[in-house]
Amino acid sequence: MKKDITYDELLAKIPNKYILTIIAGERARERAKERMERGGEPLPLTKYDKKDTEMKKVFKEILAGKVSYEDEE
C-alpha cells in the first residue's frame, strides 16, 4: 500500500504554509521550464512513480530535502 503525502509532513519541512505554497509553485514552474528546454522529462531529484502528478513529484522532492528555502532574517 502506497503512503500518501500529508500536509503535516510537508509543514515539518517548511513550517510556514504560505512559504510552502510559494516554494512548491516555483519548483513546479522550474520543472515545466526544464521539460520545455530538454524536450522531455526534467532531471529527477528523487524517485517517482509513473502515475505521480507534477505536484506529488514536487512534494516528494520537498520531503526528501532536495527543495528548501533560506530565511532572509
pLDDT tens by residue, 27-40: 999 989 988 888 87
Q: What is the model's pTM?
A: 0.83
Q: Where are the alpha helices (DSSP H) in 1-73?
A: 7-13, 17-38, 54-63
Residues 66, 42: Cα–Cα separation, whole Å: 14
Given phi > 0 = left and psi -120 to 50 = alpha, else beta, which region is 26? alpha
pLDDT tens by residue, 59-70: 999 999 998 887
Which residue, 1, 5, 12, is CA-closest to 68?
12
Residues 64, 46: Cα–Cα separation, whole Å: 7
